[in-house]
Amino acid sequence: MSAARHDDSALLHFDLIVLGGGSGGLAAAFRAAEHGQRVAVLEPQPLGGTCVNVGCVPKKAMWLAADLRLRMGQAARFGFDLPIDTQVAFDWPSFITDRQRYIHMIHESYRTRLDRDGILVLPSRGRLAGRDRVECEDGTCLTAPHIVLAAGSHPQRPDIPGAALGAISDDFFRWCEAPPRVAIIGGGYIAIELAGVLQALGSQVDVFVREQRLLRQADAELVAQLQENYCQQGIDLVFGYGLKALHRDDDGLRLEAEDGTSRGGYDEVMFATGRRPNTADLGLDTVGITPDAAGNIPVDAWQATPAPGVYAVGDICGCGPTLTPVAIAAARRLCDRLFGGKPDAKLDADNVPSVVFSHPPLAMVGMTEAQARAQYGADVHIYRSNFRPMREALAESSQRSLFKLVCTGDERRVRGIHLLGDAADEILQGFAVALKMGATLDDLHDTIAIHPTSAEEVVLMR
Ligand code: NDP
C-alpha cells in the first residue's frame, strides 16, 4: 500500500490500474512502473494467469515429459538396454510436484519484482465503476486516469446435452494419471497438444474434429504430414464429426454424433473447443463498452477501447493471435506510449511466429501457401523439404519432417516459413527475424548451412 496515496474517503489513487495479473496485465504493470508510474494490479487468482498456471508453462512441462517418453521408445534402437517401444512407467504425481514447484518459483519471482517496483497487488476481482474508477470485491474504490483490462479468457464447452460431463484444459492440469481412453473434441492448438502428450504418456486418444483437417490456420501440407505422424503414433483422428450429446453409461463416457452413430468407453472426454474472453461482471456497461459477438472487447490499433482512458490487452480483446507474447508486446508498447514518451509505440501483429507443441512441434510464421496464393496469385513460389531426420532414420522410425518456404515475386521474397519437425520450436525464432527483415531466398542461400542438422534444410531448399 505504500506506493499509493490513501485519502480520507478510502479512495486509492494510482497512475495505472490493471485488471488481471496474467502475462499481459503484469507486463503492463512492470513497464508502467519502469516509467515511474504508481500501479495497482487486481488479481484474485495466482499470478501469471492462464500461461503460467493452466497453459503454456505446465503444458510445456508435460510436453517435455512426453517428448522424453517418445525418445525412450527409440533408445533400444540406439543400443541402450531398454525394450523397444516399452511403456516405461511414468510417476505422474511426482512429476506434477516438480512441475508445480517450478510454477511456484515463477510466482515468487513475480512477487519479488512487484515488491521491488512498488506495485500494489490486490487479491480481488475488480469492476469498472466509471472511466477512472475500479471497485474491489470488498467495496474499496481505486482511481486512476488509465485502466488496462487484461482479465484473459477461459475454455468454453459446446452447448450440447451432457457437456458438463466433459473436461476442459484447466482440468487436465489437475489429472494425476493418464486416463486409459480419452476423446478430445476440437482440432485446434489445445486439442493437438493434449492429444500428443496423452498418447505419449499412456492414453489411447481419439480426436474428433468437425472440419476435414486439424488446425485450420496452419499450412495444409504440414498439417497433412502432422496428421500422418499422429496416426503412426496411434492417435485416431476422426474428421467431419458433429457431436450432438455426451452421456455416461456402464462403459464410461459416450459420444453421440449428429449422424446417429455413437462411440463409447471413454474415461475422459476433453473439450478443446476454443476460449472466451472473461468480460462478465467487469462493469463494461458503466463506461459504454460493448463486447462483440465472440465476447471480445473492441480496441483500436493502440489498445484503446471506446471509453477514454480504458485500454485492453491479451485474450480479452483478441487483437492479433491470442498468444502470451502478443499480449506482453501489446502491453509494453501501450505503456511505452502512455508513460514512456513513445507516441508511436503499438503492437505489430503481422508475422507473429507461433508453435503448436505437437510431436514433433509445428512452427509457423507469415503466410501459408493458401494465403499467399489468395493475395499474390500465380506469383507464389513454394520450396519444400520432406525428410526423415537422422534420429528417426537411425531409430528406424517412419516419422517425417516437412519444412516449407512460401516466397513471392522474382526476388523470391520469403512470405512464410513453416516447419514441422524436431526442434522446430527452437529453430523458427531466428528465421522469423529474417522474414520480418524482408529476407529473400537468395539471403537464405547465402547463409552457410550448419551440418548435420534439420535447420540447415531451411537454407538449402531449392
Ligand atoms: P482453437 O481456436 O485453436 O481451436 C478450437 C477448435 O475447436 C477448432 O478446431 C474448432 O473448430 C473447434 N470447435 C469450436 N467449437 C466447436 C464445437 N462446438 N464443436 C466441435 N468443435 C468445435 O482453440 P483452442 O481451445 O485449441 O485454443 C485457444 C487458443 O489458445 C488458440 O487459438 C491459441 O491462440 C491459444 N493457444 C496457443 C498455444 C500455443 O501457442 N502453443 C497452445 C494452446 C492454446 P473450427 O476450426 O471448425 O472452428
Confidence of residue 76 (pLDDT cuts 50, 70, 90): confident
Chain position carrying cell 491470442 = 322
Cell of residue 74, nine digits: 527409440
Q: How many angstroms separate the CA atoms of 122 and 18, rounded?
A: 10
pLDDT of 85 > 80? The answer is: no
**Are the CB atoms for 42 and 20 separated by under 8 Å?**
yes
Which single residue is written with the C-alpha cell 519444412?
A: 403
pLDDT exceeds cutoff 70 at 84:
no
Q: Which fold has domain 163-273?
A: FAD/NAD(P)-binding domain (3.50.50)
What's the mean pLDDT when you consider all of the chain?
95
With a 6 A CB cut-off, is 186 part of the ligand 1 pocket? yes
Pinpoint the alpha helices (H) of 139-257: 169-172, 189-200, 220-232
Q: Say what percent of the chain tops pLDDT 90.
A: 94
Please name the residue whose Cα sits nearest to atom 1 of ligand 1. 188
Query: Do the domains 163-273 and 3-53+94-154+276-339 match in fold?
Result: yes
Burial class (CB in 10 A: 0-12, 13-18, 19+), 231: exposed
Which residue from 189, 315, 428 has its CB within 8 A of the most atoms of ligand 1, so it is best to mutate? 189
Model pLDDT, residue 2? 38
State residue 73's pLDDT score: 86
Q: Is pTM beyond 0.85 here? A: yes
Q: Which residues contact 64 (CB under 8 A, 6 or more apart)?
A: none
What local confidence, expressed as pLDDT, does residue 318 receive?
A: 79
Which residues are CB-contacts of 250 (< 8 A; sequence separation ≥ 6)? none
The per-residue b/e assignment along 153-179, b for 16 or more CB within 10 angstroms, e otherwise, is bbbebeebebbebbbbbeebbebeebb
Q: Of the residues 273, 354, 429, which should be mutated to test ligand 1's pocket, given the most ligand atoms within 8 Å of the CB?
A: 273
Return the pLDDT at 88: 80
Report the C-alpha gap between 194 and 184 in whole angstroms: 8
| Residue 222 contacts residue 402 (beta carbons within 8 Å) | yes
Q: Report whether residue 185 contacts ligand 1, using a CB cutoff of 6 Å.
A: yes
Ligand 1 center–CA 178 separation, angstroms: 22
d(CA 190, CA 125): 27
pLDDT at res. 86: 58
The architecture that CATH gives domain 3-53+94-154+276-339 is 3-Layer(bba) Sandwich (3.50)
325-366 tens-digit pLDDT: 999 999 999 999 999 999 999 999 999 999 999 999 999 999
> What local confidence, expressed as pLDDT, does residue 283 receive?
97
Single out the residue of 250, 273, 256 nearest to residue 167, CA to CA: 273
HSE toward the beta carbon, residue 39, CA cutoff 13 A? 29
Which residues are known catalytic residues?
A: 451
Determine the Cα–Cα distance for residues 96 and 201; give it in Å rounded to an integer.
13
Q: Is it the case that residue 10 has pLDDT exceeding 70?
A: no
pLDDT at 388 over 60: yes
Which residue's C-alpha comes closest to atom 28 of ligand 1? 274
Q: Which residue is it, cell 492448438?
A: 189
When pLDDT is averaged across residues 171-196 and rounded to a whole number, the result is 97
Helix, coil or strand: residue 187: coil
* Ligand 1 centroid distance, CA of 82 (Å): 38
- Protein residue with least CA distance to atom 15, ligand 1: 273
User: In the chain, where are the structural domains located?
Assistant: 3-53+94-154+276-339, 163-273, 360-460
DSSP secondary structure letter of residue 22: B
* 360-460 homologous superfamily: FAD/NAD-linked reductase, C-terminal dimerisation domain (3.30.390.30)
